[in-house]
């Protein structure tokens, strides 16, 4: 008689197990292939790419393409590499993520713990922000930025991304705080804490998981945004995505694929890093509130 296996409800034979792992390996290989191609070709001299095989390992290892992509490639008028645009992106992403997350937390706090007439309707309206396609707001937004005197500036982009992000961050925090015991807020009120003291001292310190979700979501979306960057930024404030496009699409001279590959990896690096560092909290945060315990 076979021993009862209590670990899994469905019993799988060893052949099935091998098959499942083979399939998983195949998919992993498939999904990692582009990254492999990018990585391998970014450390080859250009002649090896044009003269040979995209899949082959480099015969001569060189980090020259990376150096060029970072600080020498011709992106705009001057040969600056991607470096200044990388900093443009950082200068745009950090405040935009910070402001939209804080505002979302504040909204969620008010919508669940300081309820007022029509709060659900207001929340419903805010959710529309998650569904409006970017293209629709391009022209009105350009007009608004012009009126505010923010056209072509990094702060203009920050404003656009904050406005677009509030819908999502409010959704996250509202749902998270809905499961947060109201008795805690009442206890704090009796203890003499005011509106903002309750927020800073009690609500925010207990919001770790959902803050990770909000930060990852906002960071990747804003970092990867191309449309707003291309539409509202000028040469001095263009983000990384636009610069990468300009680098790759330049129609003069020889196409330096190795430099393009290195540039593309550079552009994707920050989001990759955020996922690797905070990824496990991401799933935990998404699960929070949905399951008690």
Partner 1 sequence: MGFLEISNASKSYGLVEVLHNVDISVGEGEFLVLVGPSGCGKSTLLNMIAGLEDITSGEIRLKGNLMNGVHPSRRNIAMVFQSYALYPNMTVAKNITFGLEMHRVPKPERQAAMQEVAELLQIGELLDRKPAQLSGGQRQRVAMGRALVRKPDVFLFDEPLSNLDAKLRVDMRTEIKKLHQNLGTTIVYVTHDQIEAMTLSTRIAVMHEGFVQQLGTPKEIYDTPANLFVATFMGSPSMNLVPVTIGVDAAAVYAETSDSFGEIVRLAIQDADADLKSMSGKTVTMGIRPEALTDKDGVDHRSALIESCASAVGVTEPAGSDTFVTTTFGGAECVARMRADTDAAPGEVIEFAFNMEKAVFFDPASGIRIG
By beta-carbon proximity to partner 1, the closer residue of 206 and 271 is 206
Does the footprint of partner 1 cover residue 191 (CB under 8 A)? yes
Structure tokens at 164: 């677009």
Least gap, CB of 183 to partner 1 (angstroms): 4
By beta-carbon proximity to partner 1, the closer residue of 191 and 234 is 191
Does the footprint of partner 1 cover residue 115 (CB under 8 A)? no
**Using CB under 8 A, which of 187, 272, 273, 287 touches partner 1?**
187
Which 29-48 positions form the footprint of partner 1 (CB under 8 A)? none
CA distance 19 to 14: 9
Least gap, CB of 153 to partner 1 (angstroms): 38
Nearest to 188, CA basis, from 94, 113, 249:
113
CA distance 50 to 29: 25
Backbone angles phi, psi at 193, to 5 degrees: -80, 140
Does the footprint of partner 1 cover residue 205 (CB under 8 A)? yes
**Using CB under 8 A, which of 186, 196, 200, 273 touches partner 1?**
186
CA distance 122 to 11: 50
Nearest to 224, CA basis, from 241, 246, 243:
241
Q: Which stretch binds partner 1 (CB under 8 A): 12-20, 117-125, 177-185, 215-223?
A: 177-185
CA distance 99 to 231: 22
Q: Interface residues with partner 1 (CB under 8 A)?
A: 181, 183-184, 186-193, 197, 201-202, 205-206
């Amino acid at each position: 008689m076979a021993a009862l296996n209590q670990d899994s409800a469905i019993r799988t034979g060893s052949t099935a197990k091998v098959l499942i792992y083979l399939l998983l390996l195949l998919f992993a290989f498939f999904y990692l292939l582009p990254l492999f191609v990018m990585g391998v070709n970014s450390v080859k001299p250009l002649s090896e790419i044009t003269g040979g095989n995209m899949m082959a390992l480099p015969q001569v290892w060189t980090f020259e393409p990376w150096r060029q992509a970072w600080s020498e490639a011709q992106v705009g008028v001057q040969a600056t590499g991607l470096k200044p645009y990388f900093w443009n992106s950082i200068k745009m992403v950090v405040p935009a993520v910070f402001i939209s997350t804080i505002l979302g937390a504040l909204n969620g706090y008010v919508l669940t713990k300081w309820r007022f007439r029509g709060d659900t309707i207001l929340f419903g309206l805010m959710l529309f922000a998650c569904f409006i396609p970017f293209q629709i707001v391009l022209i009105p937004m350009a007009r608004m930025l012009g009126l505010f005197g923010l056209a072509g500036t990094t702060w203009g982009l920050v404003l656009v991304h904050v406005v677009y992000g509030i819908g999502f961050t409010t959704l996250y925090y509202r749902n998270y705080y809905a499961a947060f015991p109201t008795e805690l807020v009442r206890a704090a009120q009796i203890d003499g804490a005011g509106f903002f003291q309750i927020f800073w001292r009690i609500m925010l310190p207990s919001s770790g998981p959902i803050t990770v979700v909000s930060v990852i979501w906002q960071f990747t979306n804003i970092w990867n945004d191309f449309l707003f960057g291309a539409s509202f930024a000028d040469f001095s404030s263009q983000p990384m995505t636009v610069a990468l496009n300009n680098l790759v699409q330049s129609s003069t001279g020889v196409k330096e694929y190795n430099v393009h590959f290195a540039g593309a990896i550079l552009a994707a690096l920050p989001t990759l890093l955020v996922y690797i560092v905070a990824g496990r909290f991401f799933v935990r945060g998404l699960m929070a509130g949905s399951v008690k315990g």
